[in-house]
Amino acid sequence: MPDSSSKRPAEIFGYPICNQTNAARTSRERHWCPFQNGKCTKKSRLVEFPFGVCSAEYGGEIYAICPHRFDENGSLEGTSKALEDVARDYFGDLKNVMIFPEVKLPSVGIIDYVILRHKPLKPEVEDFVSVEFQSNSTTKTGALVEGMQEFLGGHDLGGRSYQFGMNTYDSIKRTVTQLVNKGVVYESWHTKCYWVIQEYFYKDLVQRYGFKSSGFSHADSSRFALYNLVPGDGRLTLTFKQFISTSVDEVYQAIRSNPAMPKKDDFVRRLDAKLAKLQIKLKTN
Protein backbone atom coordinates (compact mmCIF):
# COMPACT_ATOMS: atom_id res chain seq x y z
CA MET A 1 0.00 0.00 0.00
CA PRO A 2 1.19 3.58 -0.68
CA ASP A 3 2.94 5.39 2.16
CA SER A 4 1.20 8.72 2.89
CA SER A 5 4.54 10.38 3.71
CA SER A 6 6.51 9.20 0.66
CA LYS A 7 7.06 10.87 -2.69
CA ARG A 8 8.78 8.50 -5.08
CA PRO A 9 8.35 6.48 -8.29
CA ALA A 10 5.60 3.88 -7.98
CA GLU A 11 6.21 1.97 -11.22
CA ILE A 12 9.39 1.90 -13.28
CA PHE A 13 9.20 0.41 -16.77
CA GLY A 14 5.80 -1.13 -16.06
CA TYR A 15 6.41 -2.74 -12.67
CA PRO A 16 6.02 -1.49 -9.08
CA ILE A 17 9.32 -0.77 -7.32
CA CYS A 18 8.59 -3.64 -4.89
CA ASN A 19 8.53 -6.14 -7.77
CA GLN A 20 11.89 -7.87 -8.24
CA THR A 21 10.75 -10.75 -10.45
CA ASN A 22 12.68 -11.79 -13.54
CA ALA A 23 9.98 -10.21 -15.72
CA ALA A 24 10.36 -6.88 -13.93
CA ARG A 25 14.16 -6.96 -14.09
CA THR A 26 14.09 -7.79 -17.80
CA SER A 27 11.66 -4.96 -18.52
CA ARG A 28 13.91 -2.48 -16.71
CA GLU A 29 17.05 -3.72 -18.39
CA ARG A 30 15.44 -3.37 -21.82
CA HIS A 31 13.75 -0.03 -20.96
CA TRP A 32 10.55 -1.75 -21.99
CA CYS A 33 6.95 -0.52 -21.72
CA PRO A 34 4.68 -3.55 -21.24
CA PHE A 35 1.62 -1.36 -21.82
CA GLN A 36 2.74 -0.43 -25.35
CA ASN A 37 4.58 -3.72 -25.83
CA GLY A 38 7.59 -1.82 -27.05
CA LYS A 39 10.50 0.29 -25.87
CA CYS A 40 9.51 3.18 -23.61
CA THR A 41 9.28 6.44 -25.58
CA LYS A 42 9.03 8.87 -22.65
CA LYS A 43 11.99 11.27 -22.60
CA SER A 44 13.84 13.48 -20.13
CA ARG A 45 16.74 15.77 -20.94
CA LEU A 46 18.39 14.55 -17.72
CA VAL A 47 18.99 10.97 -18.91
CA GLU A 48 20.08 9.46 -22.19
CA PHE A 49 17.74 6.48 -21.84
CA PRO A 50 13.90 6.63 -21.58
CA PHE A 51 12.27 8.20 -18.52
CA GLY A 52 10.48 5.03 -17.51
CA VAL A 53 8.42 6.19 -14.51
CA CYS A 54 4.85 5.17 -15.34
CA SER A 55 3.24 6.30 -12.08
CA ALA A 56 4.27 8.16 -8.95
CA GLU A 57 3.46 7.68 -5.28
CA TYR A 58 2.55 10.98 -3.67
CA GLY A 59 0.70 11.68 -0.43
CA GLY A 60 -0.70 8.18 -0.13
CA GLU A 61 -2.06 8.14 -3.71
CA ILE A 62 -0.75 6.61 -6.93
CA TYR A 63 -0.82 8.95 -9.92
CA ALA A 64 -0.38 7.81 -13.51
CA ILE A 65 2.07 10.29 -15.07
CA CYS A 66 2.21 8.73 -18.53
CA PRO A 67 -0.91 8.37 -20.72
CA HIS A 68 0.34 4.98 -21.92
CA ARG A 69 -0.30 3.72 -18.37
CA PHE A 70 -3.95 3.47 -19.47
CA ASP A 71 -2.89 1.09 -22.25
CA GLU A 72 -2.78 -1.79 -19.76
CA ASN A 73 -3.63 -5.02 -21.58
CA GLY A 74 -7.23 -6.13 -21.78
CA SER A 75 -8.75 -9.51 -22.61
CA LEU A 76 -7.89 -9.27 -26.31
CA GLU A 77 -4.28 -9.37 -27.45
CA GLY A 78 -3.00 -5.94 -28.40
CA THR A 79 -6.02 -4.09 -26.98
CA SER A 80 -6.04 -2.05 -23.79
CA LYS A 81 -8.51 -2.73 -21.01
CA ALA A 82 -9.72 0.89 -21.00
CA LEU A 83 -10.44 0.86 -24.74
CA GLU A 84 -12.26 -2.46 -24.38
CA ASP A 85 -14.36 -1.02 -21.54
CA VAL A 86 -15.28 1.99 -23.68
CA ALA A 87 -16.10 -0.13 -26.73
CA ARG A 88 -18.30 -2.48 -24.72
CA ASP A 89 -20.09 0.42 -23.07
CA TYR A 90 -20.67 2.27 -26.34
CA PHE A 91 -21.23 -0.55 -28.84
CA GLY A 92 -22.38 -3.29 -26.46
CA ASP A 93 -19.72 -5.76 -27.63
CA LEU A 94 -16.49 -5.91 -29.64
CA LYS A 95 -17.93 -7.30 -32.86
CA ASN A 96 -16.53 -5.65 -36.01
CA VAL A 97 -14.63 -3.15 -33.86
CA MET A 98 -11.29 -1.60 -34.86
CA ILE A 99 -9.08 0.92 -33.06
CA PHE A 100 -7.02 3.69 -34.65
CA PRO A 101 -4.53 5.72 -32.56
CA GLU A 102 -3.67 9.41 -32.97
CA VAL A 103 -6.29 10.49 -35.47
CA LYS A 104 -6.12 14.13 -36.58
CA LEU A 105 -9.15 16.30 -35.87
CA PRO A 106 -8.68 19.20 -38.34
CA SER A 107 -8.33 22.67 -36.79
CA VAL A 108 -8.65 21.22 -33.27
CA GLY A 109 -5.89 18.71 -32.53
CA ILE A 110 -5.23 15.00 -32.25
CA ILE A 111 -7.66 12.38 -30.92
CA ASP A 112 -5.78 9.77 -28.89
CA TYR A 113 -7.91 6.90 -30.19
CA VAL A 114 -10.90 6.41 -32.45
CA ILE A 115 -12.83 3.17 -31.98
CA LEU A 116 -15.06 2.32 -34.91
CA ARG A 117 -17.51 -0.40 -35.81
CA HIS A 118 -17.44 -1.27 -39.49
CA LYS A 119 -20.26 -2.79 -41.49
CA PRO A 120 -20.05 -6.62 -41.66
CA LEU A 121 -17.46 -7.65 -44.25
CA LYS A 122 -17.28 -4.09 -45.58
CA PRO A 123 -14.65 -1.33 -45.20
CA GLU A 124 -17.36 1.16 -44.28
CA VAL A 125 -17.85 2.91 -40.94
CA GLU A 126 -21.11 2.07 -39.20
CA ASP A 127 -20.38 4.16 -36.08
CA PHE A 128 -17.41 5.48 -34.11
CA VAL A 129 -16.45 6.93 -30.74
CA SER A 130 -13.43 9.02 -29.72
CA VAL A 131 -11.27 8.32 -26.67
CA GLU A 132 -8.79 10.56 -24.85
CA PHE A 133 -6.28 9.41 -22.20
CA GLN A 134 -5.36 12.07 -19.64
CA SER A 135 -2.63 11.36 -17.09
CA ASN A 136 -1.10 13.78 -14.60
CA SER A 137 2.18 15.71 -14.77
CA THR A 138 4.82 16.66 -12.21
CA THR A 139 6.85 19.66 -11.10
CA LYS A 140 10.56 19.47 -10.23
CA THR A 141 10.60 16.28 -12.29
CA GLY A 142 14.38 16.05 -11.95
CA ALA A 143 13.89 14.70 -8.43
CA LEU A 144 11.71 11.92 -9.82
CA VAL A 145 14.36 11.15 -12.44
CA GLU A 146 16.88 10.95 -9.59
CA GLY A 147 14.68 8.39 -7.84
CA MET A 148 14.49 6.29 -11.00
CA GLN A 149 18.26 6.42 -11.46
CA GLU A 150 18.91 5.40 -7.86
CA PHE A 151 16.46 2.52 -8.17
CA LEU A 152 18.03 1.27 -11.41
CA GLY A 153 21.40 1.62 -9.70
CA GLY A 154 20.35 -0.97 -7.12
CA HIS A 155 19.07 1.23 -4.28
CA ASP A 156 15.97 0.29 -2.30
CA LEU A 157 13.51 3.21 -2.44
CA GLY A 158 11.57 2.02 0.60
CA GLY A 159 11.32 4.95 3.01
CA ARG A 160 12.91 7.36 0.54
CA SER A 161 11.22 10.56 -0.56
CA TYR A 162 12.03 12.88 -3.45
CA GLN A 163 11.14 16.56 -3.69
CA PHE A 164 8.91 16.62 -6.76
CA GLY A 165 5.31 17.79 -6.91
CA MET A 166 2.11 16.89 -8.74
CA ASN A 167 1.10 19.46 -11.36
CA THR A 168 -2.58 18.51 -11.26
CA TYR A 169 -3.94 22.00 -11.88
CA ASP A 170 -1.96 22.36 -15.11
CA SER A 171 -3.21 18.95 -16.28
CA ILE A 172 -6.78 19.94 -15.43
CA LYS A 173 -6.51 23.23 -17.35
CA ARG A 174 -5.40 21.37 -20.44
CA THR A 175 -8.20 18.83 -20.01
CA VAL A 176 -10.92 21.45 -19.63
CA THR A 177 -9.67 23.31 -22.71
CA GLN A 178 -9.85 20.13 -24.79
CA LEU A 179 -13.15 19.16 -23.22
CA VAL A 180 -14.70 22.38 -24.53
CA ASN A 181 -12.90 22.60 -27.90
CA LYS A 182 -13.47 18.97 -28.86
CA GLY A 183 -16.81 18.72 -27.09
CA VAL A 184 -18.29 21.42 -29.33
CA VAL A 185 -17.26 19.38 -32.38
CA TYR A 186 -18.66 16.12 -31.04
CA GLU A 187 -21.96 17.73 -30.10
CA SER A 188 -22.29 19.24 -33.58
CA TRP A 189 -21.54 15.81 -35.06
CA HIS A 190 -23.91 14.05 -32.62
CA THR A 191 -21.06 11.70 -31.67
CA LYS A 192 -19.45 10.79 -28.33
CA CYS A 193 -16.04 11.00 -26.65
CA TYR A 194 -14.80 9.17 -23.55
CA TRP A 195 -12.13 10.73 -21.32
CA VAL A 196 -10.12 8.04 -19.53
CA ILE A 197 -8.81 9.49 -16.26
CA GLN A 198 -8.18 8.44 -12.67
CA GLU A 199 -10.94 8.84 -10.13
CA TYR A 200 -9.06 11.45 -8.04
CA PHE A 201 -8.67 13.58 -11.18
CA TYR A 202 -12.43 13.79 -11.66
CA LYS A 203 -12.95 14.49 -7.95
CA ASP A 204 -10.65 17.49 -8.39
CA LEU A 205 -12.91 18.72 -11.22
CA VAL A 206 -15.87 18.35 -8.87
CA GLN A 207 -14.18 20.27 -6.05
CA ARG A 208 -12.48 22.89 -8.22
CA TYR A 209 -15.24 23.68 -10.73
CA GLY A 210 -18.39 22.12 -9.36
CA PHE A 211 -18.70 19.31 -11.92
CA LYS A 212 -21.47 16.91 -10.95
CA SER A 213 -20.24 14.05 -8.77
CA SER A 214 -22.23 11.33 -10.56
CA GLY A 215 -24.80 10.74 -13.26
CA PHE A 216 -24.91 9.47 -16.81
CA SER A 217 -27.03 10.45 -19.79
CA HIS A 218 -26.80 8.77 -23.18
CA ALA A 219 -27.58 12.17 -24.73
CA ASP A 220 -24.31 13.69 -23.45
CA SER A 221 -21.42 13.74 -25.92
CA SER A 222 -18.65 13.84 -23.28
CA ARG A 223 -18.25 10.84 -20.99
CA PHE A 224 -15.65 10.22 -18.28
CA ALA A 225 -14.34 6.70 -17.67
CA LEU A 226 -12.91 6.71 -14.15
CA TYR A 227 -10.19 4.31 -12.99
CA ASN A 228 -7.92 3.60 -10.04
CA LEU A 229 -4.51 1.92 -9.90
CA VAL A 230 -4.97 -0.87 -7.37
CA PRO A 231 -1.97 -2.76 -5.86
CA GLY A 232 -2.02 -6.54 -5.85
CA ASP A 233 0.12 -9.58 -6.76
CA GLY A 234 3.21 -7.51 -7.53
CA ARG A 235 1.46 -5.27 -10.06
CA LEU A 236 -0.77 -2.24 -10.13
CA THR A 237 -4.04 -3.05 -11.87
CA LEU A 238 -6.06 -0.48 -13.77
CA THR A 239 -9.47 -0.90 -12.16
CA PHE A 240 -12.68 0.60 -13.55
CA LYS A 241 -14.88 2.60 -11.17
CA GLN A 242 -17.69 4.31 -13.10
CA PHE A 243 -18.84 6.32 -16.13
CA ILE A 244 -20.03 9.92 -15.72
CA SER A 245 -21.28 12.09 -18.57
CA THR A 246 -21.49 15.82 -19.20
CA SER A 247 -22.19 18.38 -21.93
CA VAL A 248 -20.40 21.52 -23.07
CA ASP A 249 -23.19 23.62 -21.52
CA GLU A 250 -22.72 21.85 -18.17
CA VAL A 251 -18.96 22.47 -18.34
CA TYR A 252 -19.53 26.18 -19.06
CA GLN A 253 -22.06 26.43 -16.25
CA ALA A 254 -19.75 24.67 -13.78
CA ILE A 255 -16.91 27.06 -14.60
CA ARG A 256 -19.20 30.13 -14.43
CA SER A 257 -20.50 29.13 -10.99
CA ASN A 258 -17.11 27.86 -9.81
CA PRO A 259 -17.34 27.53 -5.98
CA ALA A 260 -13.61 28.31 -5.70
CA MET A 261 -13.91 31.54 -7.68
CA PRO A 262 -11.93 34.27 -5.84
CA LYS A 263 -13.87 37.21 -4.40
CA LYS A 264 -13.21 40.67 -5.83
CA ASP A 265 -13.04 42.32 -2.38
CA ASP A 266 -10.31 39.90 -1.28
CA PHE A 267 -8.35 40.64 -4.43
CA VAL A 268 -8.64 44.41 -3.90
CA ARG A 269 -7.38 44.00 -0.33
CA ARG A 270 -4.32 42.22 -1.71
CA LEU A 271 -3.73 45.13 -4.08
CA ASP A 272 -4.15 47.58 -1.18
CA ALA A 273 -1.50 45.65 0.76
CA LYS A 274 0.89 45.85 -2.21
CA LEU A 275 0.31 49.59 -2.46
CA ALA A 276 0.94 50.01 1.27
CA LYS A 277 4.28 48.19 0.96
CA LEU A 278 5.20 50.30 -2.06
CA GLN A 279 4.42 53.53 -0.17
CA ILE A 280 6.64 52.46 2.73
CA LYS A 281 9.44 51.71 0.29
CA LEU A 282 9.00 55.06 -1.45
CA LYS A 283 9.09 56.93 1.87
CA THR A 284 12.30 55.19 2.94
CA ASN A 285 13.91 56.16 -0.38
Q: CA neighbours within 13 Å on the CB side: how many for 112?
A: 19
Question: Is residue 115 within 8 Å of 128, Cβ to Cβ?
Answer: yes
Parallel, antiparallel, or unpaired: how do β-strands 193-198 and 222-232 relate? parallel
Looking at residue 148, its amino acid is M
Helix axis angle, 168-189 to 248-256, nearest 10°? 140
CB 220 within 8 A of CB 65: no
Residues 6+ apart with CB under 8 A from 153: none
Taking only the tens of pLDDT, the chain with its 285 residues reads 566 678 999 999 999 999 999 999 999 999 999 999 999 999 999 999 999 999 999 988 999 999 999 999 987 777 899 999 999 999 999 999 999 999 999 999 999 999 999 999 999 999 999 999 999 999 999 999 999 999 999 999 988 999 999 999 999 999 999 999 999 999 999 999 999 999 999 999 999 888 999 999 999 999 999 999 999 889 999 999 999 999 999 998 888 887 778 899 999 999 999 988 887 666 665
User: What's residue 76's pLDDT?
Assistant: 74
Separation CA 37–CA 214 (nearest Å): 34
Contacts with 93 (C-beta within 8 Å, 6 or more apart), sequence order? none
Q: In the chain, where does DSSP find H-type helix? A: 22-30, 81-91, 141-152, 168-189, 199-209, 248-256, 264-284
CA gap 253, 262 in Å, rounded: 16
The answer to whether 53 and 33 have CB atoms below 8 angstroms apart is no
Strand order in the sheet with 235-246: 97-105, 109-118, 125-133, 193-198, 222-232, 235-246
pLDDT at 284: 62
For residue 246, the cross-strand partners are 222
Domain boundaries, the chain: 1-66+137-166, 67-134+167-285
**Are the C-beta atoms of 120 and 96 separated by less than 8 Å?**
yes
Among 92, 89, 96, CA closest to 124: 96
Phi-psi region of 66 (alpha: psi -120 to 50; beta: other; left: phi over 0): beta
Q: What burial letters (b/e) apply to 122-152, b meaning 16+ CB within 10 Å?
A: eeeeeebbbbbbbbbbbeebebbbbbbebbb
Task: Give the pLDDT confidence score for residue 30 in this predicted structure.
Answer: 96
Residues in the chain, total: 285
